[in-house]
Structure 1
Amino acid sequence: MSDNNSSQEGSTRSPDLEKAALEHVEQVHTNERVPGHGNYYEKDGLRTYGDGEDHDHEPPMSFKRAMSLLAMAFLWTGSQIPVYLFGGIPPYIYGDLGGTDRWIWFVLANLLSLAAVCPFVGSLSDLMGRRYVAILGAGFVVLGMIICSTAHSMNTFIAGMVFAGIGAGINELTALAVTSELAPTAKRGKYVAVLILTIIPFCPSVLWGQLIASKYASAWRWVGLLCGIYNFLGLLLTAFFYFPPPRVNSQGLSRREILGQIDWVGGALSIPGMLLFMMGMQWGGYQYPWSSAHVLAPLILGFVLLVAFFVWEAKLAKHPMFPKRLRQDPRILGLTLIITFISGSQFFSVLMFWPTQAFNVYGHDPVGVGIRGLPIGFSILAGCCIVLWLLSTFRGHNRELLIISSILMTAGCGALSIARVDNLYQLWGLLIVAGVGIGGIVVPASIITTIICPDDLIATIAALTLAIRVIGGSIGYCVYYNVFISK
């Protein structure tokens, strides 16, 4: 009797239960499926779901999560400080090592190697995971700082900055990607803003560099030790505390299948292509005539390799470095990348020109040079953090934020042309305006692209924006420097 009652109750409840169950079944459209991956899907082609992770709610700040974010903060700041600190003291470095005709290459070598490896490593990171890629990047920076600190010639110092640049590119894109993944999509801007704030102690990098390097002839080497220790701490924090879940991109795949999805041909074409092309751009008109073989050979060869890379990616690659799924919103993505390119030309030119100008035009006093470098450092940081925070606060107004930042950048950088020996007082405000504008684009543009592109390709798109920013900086600096020396 009781069995009959139970069965009757079950039968009367079953339609309601079935209806409730049906209400919880989410439709997955065909365009949300990821080709070759049945273990997850992308809602609206962007947000990852079906992988067993909660991507909508902010998890509690556990010790493990906090230490993972701290590790990323060390990696991000550590990727920036070699260029910031060494870039503020070139006269001390080439005064000790020589190489006054090529010292600029220690900055350029860092940036070019960074841009060259980023796209390949970004796609590799999305496929194979962030942990070991981050550890490798920190190891490269530490190795580079050891070489720089023990160098006895400018060529050796430049070689050290190449290794540091490779590691810096890996760590910057990894830190941005991991922080974006650890944050709910709606709060990515705020999380990355806090990440960027960790560089505050190094905003007076020109001042710190000047105070260290001015002690005695080879005191600049302590800068390399400082950068090396900082990055080694980031390596240790990553090794002991950052254990992310397996990448959804490679779940269920054998090691051979994973290796088969890596775009080895794309990497072999893009890395030397970008390096050769940008090296030719930097040599032209500065160290060698534009018509010389020293300039034309790398320019032409690099251009041919890059054209071959684009043809390979568009027509031939089975698993391209930049999948078509990145183009969920091609118009916004294209405009953001163009703005990133232009902001890069302003960012790196200000970073490399202003400390030299502050030293040679307005006096050699270390404290004075350091103080004159404060406005640009703090204003770029302020612009980054303000716009990143507003991205999360005023959702849907990304375009307006980029327009305002572009106006400030253009007005501030252009107005710096009024600089004379006797009007330093007029430049303080202009440096702040230019810095806020540049900062409002440099990192926020990368975060905007991670919002409008699929979650499982965060490192790929972050690497693309980083590479375009550095290419823009390289080409912009080349143009500006050739105009400068022609005057």
Structure 2
Amino acid sequence: MTELVERSDSSQASDRSPAREKTTMSHIEQVHTNERVPGHPNYYEKNGVRTYGDGMDHDAEPKMSFQRMMSLIAMAFLWTGSQIPVYLFGGVPPIIYADIGGVDRWIWFVLANLLSLAAVCPFVGSISDLIGRRYVALIGASFIVVGMIICSTAHSMNIFICGMVFAGVGAGINELTALAATSELAPTSQRGKYVSVLIFTIVPFCPSVLWAQLIAAHGSWRYIGLLCGVWAGIGLVMTAVFYFPPPRVNSSGLSRNEILAQIDYVGGFLSIAGMLLFMMGMQWGGYQYPWTSVHTLVPLILGIVMLIGFFVWEAYGAKYPMFPKRLRQDPRVLALTLVITFISGANFFSILMFWPTQAFNVYGHDPVGVGIRGIPVGFSILTGACLVLYLISALKGQIRLLLVVSSILMTAGCGALAYAEQDNLHKLWGILILAGLGIGGIVVPASIITTIICPDDLIATVTALTLAIRVIGGSIGYTVYYNVFVNKFIPAATYHIGGFMALKLNITSVEIITDAIKLTGASLLGPIAELPGVTGVPGAYEGIVLAGQLAYAEAYKYVYYTSIAFGSVSIVAACFMGDIGKYMDDHVAVVM
């Protein structure tokens, strides 16, 4: 069925003089019934994806005014501010827990940040599409500032983790806001180029491990929090001063009560609680608690039940679901993109969580050396993301080849890191670059691909979905990787460290050998020199450290072997991906 709608340009809508009306031609346009948006008679989605009928000219890119430019710069600050806390703090964990304790739980400051990001994204994304980006972005930046204050003043690991939870909530809000706002301000065919410029602004922080090591070595790790807080604060101020997007078409003409009635509170509760419980159970299992313990099973099972409840509610119970069926305009591309996003999240975590510690544990603790070893990863991920984003626009949506190549590079690069030995660091630079290029070519581009094939009024919703899927994939991947790593490290450390101490130092005390292995596993090497039988013995400390490096090198191999299985799924999914050329028009979702 179709409706006949009289449509005129925005200039006509604003100029109703008799003379103007005599000289202006309006035309009749067919609007298919399935292009109507339920509950929103004020606009429609042409072909199910592009907003029209709201009185704005969506077919011409607005000129780059000062306000438009400053709005995009504000989004860049929000984007960068959402990324740098976990990257900078993640470069100096041993220095942090050596100061405030928490060697048994430090990994949770990274995981808490990422899990809170994933948990809030879907709910906040749907709210952002309904009520607008501005105030959502201001709240997100405020969360990061508060989180950094808590982290910088923490004197225990639990308080530090709490600060990273705040920062993670803010990071999730700001990352999806920056990506969604930039995407909707750009012509659809140019979204890749616009977003590539956005994420390129993180280039000063690509050597994040190096900066973090230098800050901690020459000052205090607490200054990292100051840097991140100030950066987020600048984004907060710039957003407040310059970013004034037009009212959302989703809520135009609705009363406050009608807007509130369209928020899926039940879905929000089930998704946030379900994801948090599920991912917390996944991370506790085999790390702090056995898989069979109540501490692991209860949140894991509750999380699964609540997530199942969420899917049932969204399908059958919600009047205004968080993920409307209108998202599925191109089901195959959407489904395969989410699969690839999930897998890239798992492989991203293999690099993000393991390479910085490997650079520290296998190749030495010199701050500059550790920082330099992290540079290829940061710059190559950024390069891969920017390059693929640009090519999405330049090749007019021919994404199959881009994703196949990126998936192959990611899988080959991550898998080839198993070649790493204690004495062959010089051979790894090219491998790290390949892995980074592949990961970068998927992590952000996948989000932008989904915004191109989804309705204009649901851009933040689908962006939030991809961010959540990426972190869930990373969470599951990390759980698998960590359990593989621990199961290989303990026997390797027993063989190398225990063997050296027993055969070379004549230390047969199980307690002393166990202490040496535990200190090595915690990357706290200084106290090893004070162990009985080591103190004052020439070469003893150095020998134990070398033995630990050999044990680490053996264990890390299996993490990267495991990543090949994840990457292979991504390659297969990419081969069946369809191109999106038919969506690559010059339509602008939000005219500003």
With normalisation by structure 1, the TM-score equals 0.95
Q: How does 1:135-150 map to 2 (within 5 A)?
A: 135-150=138-153
Q: Given the alignment of the two structures, is residue 245 of structure 1 paired with residue 246 of structure 2, yes or no?
A: yes
Cα offsets for 1:346-370 (capped at 9, x unmatched): 1122111111110111011111111
Give the unaligned 5+ runs of structure 2: 1-20, 489-592
Q: How does 1:406-421 map to 2 (within 5 A)?
A: 406-421=407-422
Q: Does structure 2 retain, via aligned residues, the 8 Å contact 1:92–1:214?
A: no
Q: Given the alignment of the two structures, is residue 350 of structure 1 paired with residue 351 of structure 2, yes or no?
A: yes
| SS of alignment partner, residue 250 of structure 2 | helix
| SS of alignment partner, residue 105 of structure 1 | helix
| SS of alignment partner, residue 248 of structure 1 | coil
Q: How does 1:20-419 map to 2 (within 5 A)?
A: 21=25, 24-215=27-218, 219-419=220-420
How far apart, CA to CA, are the structure 2 residues paired with 1:238 and 1:477?
Answer: 35
Which amino acid is 2:262 matched to? Q
| SS of alignment partner, residue 76 of structure 1 | helix
Which amino acid is 1:364 matched to? H
How far apart, CA to CA, are the structure 2 residues paired with 1:396 and 1:413?
Answer: 27
How far apart, CA to CA, are the structure 1 residues paired with 2:393 and 2:180?
Answer: 17
C-alpha displacement of 1:307: 0.6
Q: Does structure 2 retain, via aligned residues, the 8 Å contact 1:409–1:437?
A: yes
Q: Does structure 2 retain, via aligned residues, the 8 Å contact 1:56–1:185?
A: no
How far apart, CA to CA, are the structure 1 residues paired with 2:64 and 2:310?
Answer: 43
Which amino acid is 2:29 matched to? E
2:457 aligns to what?
Answer: 456
C-alpha displacement of 1:414: 0.6
Cα offsets for 1:152-186 (capped at 9, x unmatched): 00000000000000000000000001001111111
| 328-337 vs 28-37, which moves further | 28-37
2:536 aligns to what?
Answer: none
C-alpha displacement of 1:303: 0.6
How far apart, CA to CA, are the structure 2 residues paired with 1:396 and 1:194?
Answer: 18
C-alpha displacement of 1:21: 4.2
How far apart, CA to CA, are the structure 1 residues paired with 2:70 and 2:197?
Answer: 14
Cα offsets for 1:203-262 (capped at 9, x unmatched): 00000000001125xx00000000000000000000010000000000110000000000
How far apart, CA to CA, are the structure 2 residues paired with 1:390 and 1:41?
Answer: 30
C-alpha displacement of 1:60: 1.1
Which amino acid is 2:100 matched to? L
How far apart, CA to CA, are the structure 2 residues paired with 1:268 and 1:178?
Answer: 25
1:3 aligns to what?
Answer: none
| SS of alignment partner, residue 250 of structure 1 | coil
C-alpha displacement of 1:132: 0.2
How far apart, CA to CA, are the structure 1 residues paired with 2:184 and 2:272?
Answer: 27
Q: Does structure 2 retain, via aligned residues, the 8 Å contact 1:55–1:185?
A: no
Question: Following TM superposition, where does structure 1 have runs of at least 4 consecutive aligned residues deviating by more than 6 angstroms?
Answer: none
C-alpha displacement of 1:51: 1.6
How far apart, CA to CA, are the structure 2 residues paired with 1:21 and 1:244?
Answer: 30
| SS of alignment partner, residue 40 of structure 1 | strand
Q: Does structure 2 retain, via aligned residues, the 8 Å contact 1:387–1:440?
A: yes
| 422-431 vs 145-154, which moves further | 422-431
| 394-403 vs 137-146, which moves further | 394-403
Cα offsets for 1:317-346 (capped at 9, x unmatched): 000000000000111100000000000011
How far apart, CA to CA, are the structure 2 residues paired with 1:258 and 1:337?
Answer: 29
Which amino acid is 2:248 matched to? R
Which amino acid is 1:317 matched to? A
How far apart, CA to CA, are the structure 2 residues paired with 1:148 and 1:185?
Answer: 39
| SS of alignment partner, residue 105 of structure 2 | coil
C-alpha displacement of 1:437: 0.3
| SS of alignment partner, residue 249 of structure 1 | coil
| SS of alignment partner, residue 119 of structure 2 | helix
| SS of alignment partner, residue 43 of structure 2 | strand
C-alpha displacement of 1:400: 1.6
C-alpha displacement of 1:56: 2.4
How far apart, CA to CA, are the structure 1 residues paired with 2:68 and 2:350?
Answer: 37
How far apart, CA to CA, are the structure 2 residues paired with 1:54 and 1:67?
Answer: 22
C-alpha displacement of 1:26: 2.3
2:520 aligns to what?
Answer: none
How far apart, CA to CA, are the structure 1 residues paired with 2:339 and 2:57?
Answer: 33
Give the unaligned 5+ runs of structure 1: 1-16
How far apart, CA to CA, are the structure 2 residues paired with 1:309 and 1:341?
Answer: 19
How far apart, CA to CA, are the structure 2 residues paired with 1:397 and 1:256?
Answer: 44
| SS of alignment partner, residue 373 of structure 1 | helix
C-alpha displacement of 1:59: 1.3
Cα offsets for 1:76-124 (capped at 9, x unmatched): 0000000110011111101101110000000000000000000000000
How far apart, CA to CA, are the structure 2 residues paired with 1:174 and 1:327?
Answer: 21
| SS of alignment partner, residue 30 of structure 2 | coil
How far apart, CA to CA, are the structure 2 residues paired with 1:292 and 1:162?
Answer: 25
- Cα RMSD (Å): 1.3
Q: How does 1:434-449 map to 2 (within 5 A)?
A: 434-449=435-450
| SS of alignment partner, residue 41 of structure 1 | strand
Cα offsets for 1:267-306 (capped at 9, x unmatched): 1111011000000000001111100001000000111111
| SS of alignment partner, residue 31 of structure 2 | coil
How far apart, CA to CA, are the structure 1 residues paired with 2:192 and 2:56?
Answer: 20
| SS of alignment partner, residue 59 of structure 1 | coil
| SS of alignment partner, residue 305 of structure 2 | helix
Percent sequence identity is 78
Q: Does structure 2 retain, via aligned residues, the 8 Å contact 1:45–1:454?
A: yes
| SS of alignment partner, residue 151 of structure 1 | coil
How far apart, CA to CA, are the structure 1 residues paired with 2:61 and 2:283?
Answer: 46
C-alpha displacement of 1:54: 2.6
How far apart, CA to CA, are the structure 2 residues paired with 1:227 and 1:294?
Answer: 33
C-alpha displacement of 1:392: 0.5
